[in-house]
Amino acid sequence: MPVLEHVWLGRMAYGDAWAVQRRLAAARALGEIPDTLLLVEHPPAYTMGRTGSMEHLPFGVERLVSLGAEYVEVDRGGSVTFHGPGQLVAYPILGIAGVFPLAGQPGLGDVLAHLRALEEALIATVALHGVVAERRPPYTGIWVGREKLAAIGVKLASGVTTHGAALNVCTDLEWFAQVIPCGISDAGVCSLASLGVTQLPTVEETGGRFAAAFARVIGRELRPAGESVLSLASSPAVVSAATPTAA
């Protein structure tokens, strides 16, 4: 079975983790590393995607920075979202054609299939805690009623995926009140904690469970990251392989 390597980056500034993604994506495009899943928790940061609008920042960038958050314009799809403590962020670095081949188009991959796989793995992960989440077309992510529990935004370049999914475990939801999350004005945001999950896992534990679920969904054998991945991911932060929990 093809392999998916995974690594827990710990708490890492958004910009540093983005640099790690770019290094790994370049190596994956050259076939120097296998498909890899980065798992991380960020200090407070707001990111604005390619299809975002300043209208989704009703209080302006200065307000966000004054609260102690980083603000970064990024190359993923989607609009503005928040990353911060208590949130699991997962970045799959996949050679997408090998995981989701596009029918009748050799060498190309199906980005929509990648999005659906992220959603399926997220739904399976939160189900372990008794939370029933679902999709809400035409939006991405997973939802409980009209509240988004996990957001998704990805990029595909040179046949390799970057960016990914953010799942609120025990995130302070007041951070989301400063923006119009994902540009959706008629929706709220929730977390496992706000939904009443009492035996909350740590963000790292949640990462292990998501890794196991995502590997199963895409038909990969999950393994801790090897030296080729760790050497690229180890700067600027010290990293360790996450221990997956059966999902």
Active site residue 182: yes
Catalytic residue among 182, 203, 213, 239: 182
Residues 6+ apart with CB under 8 A from 215: 4, 6, 37, 221, 222, 244
Phi, psi angle pair for 16, to nearest 5°? -65, -40
pLDDT at res. 247: 38
pLDDT at res. 197: 96
What tokens does 90 get?
């997962």
Phi, psi angle pair for 72, to nearest 5°? -135, 130
Residue listed under structure tokens 């409980």: 144
pLDDT at res. 185: 85
Q: Report pLDDT digits (tens) over 109-157.
A: 999 999 999 999 999 999 999 999 999 999 999 999 999 999 999 999 9
pLDDT at res. 104: 83
pTM: 0.94
Buried b (16+ CB within 10 A) or exposed e, 64-99: beeeebbbeebebbbbbbbbbebbbbbbbbbbbbeb
Q: Report pLDDT digits (tens) over 35-59.
A: 999 999 999 999 999 988 899 999 9
pLDDT at res. 239: 44
Cis (ω within 30 of 0) for the bond into 236?
yes
Strand partners, 59: none
What tokens does 126 get?
């939160």
pLDDT at res. 39: 98
Residue listed under structure tokens 């999902």: 247
pLDDT at res. 235: 58
Q: Which residues of the chain have pLDDT under 70?
A: 235-247
What distance in Å separates the CA atoms of residue 46 and residue 148, rounded to the nearest whole number? 16
Query: CB of 56 within 8 A of CB of 81?
Result: no
